[in-house]
A = this chain, B = another copy of it.
């Protein structure tokens, strides 16, 4: 079986899940932590080399404050849980903004935790424009120099993007690293994660003819 080297995770549907379960929207995020750790564990076993989580974006920070606080807290908790694993962990996002939680400053340089291992990228206060504008004064002239001048330069090309919650869009997720990615959509909301979602996505990916645009 062809295992993607790098999987991108768009864990959408937390708010809709909360409403469906009779809670107010902001109470959905915390239920995304367990799925995040489960997917880490499965990917580690399968030998996936890199995993990128879409935490929250600069667009998301325009939501009501109670939601902003809830998703920021969930991201802080998620990064701390991941730092207890064997992982090479990096938080990527605009840390010059007050929307970036100070608790995550120590993670803005890649660091090995435990025995190191799978490369984990966690996007926090990430914006596609923030990412791209770093190359605006770079003189980048080819694919390699474009990528090396992104703010997300330490995140590799993504093979497979899995999005939960039924929407079929990138919502600003790493526009350069996703130019050739295959997309797989799970209709269930992220807090309803089941291992079969990931396994179905991998089975589907295994049947794709990867051409990198050729």
Encode A157-191 as 1/0 by CB contact (under 8 A) with B: 00000000001111110011011111110000000
- Does A146 contact B133, Cβ atoms closer than 8 Å? yes
Closest chain B CB from A43 CB (angstroms): 20
- Does A213 contact B59, Cβ atoms closer than 8 Å? yes
- Does B179 contact A128, Cβ atoms closer than 8 Å? yes
Identify which of B149, B168, B179 contacts A171 (C-beta below 8 A): B179
- Does A143 contact B168, Cβ atoms closer than 8 Å? no
| Interface residue A57 (Cβ < 8 Å from any Cβ of B) | yes
Identify which of B57, B60, B138, B182 contacts A168 (C-beta below 8 A): B182
A209 vs B12: C-alpha distance in the bound complex, in angstroms? 13
- Does A133 contact B129, Cβ atoms closer than 8 Å? no
Closest chain B CB from A72 CB (angstroms): 16
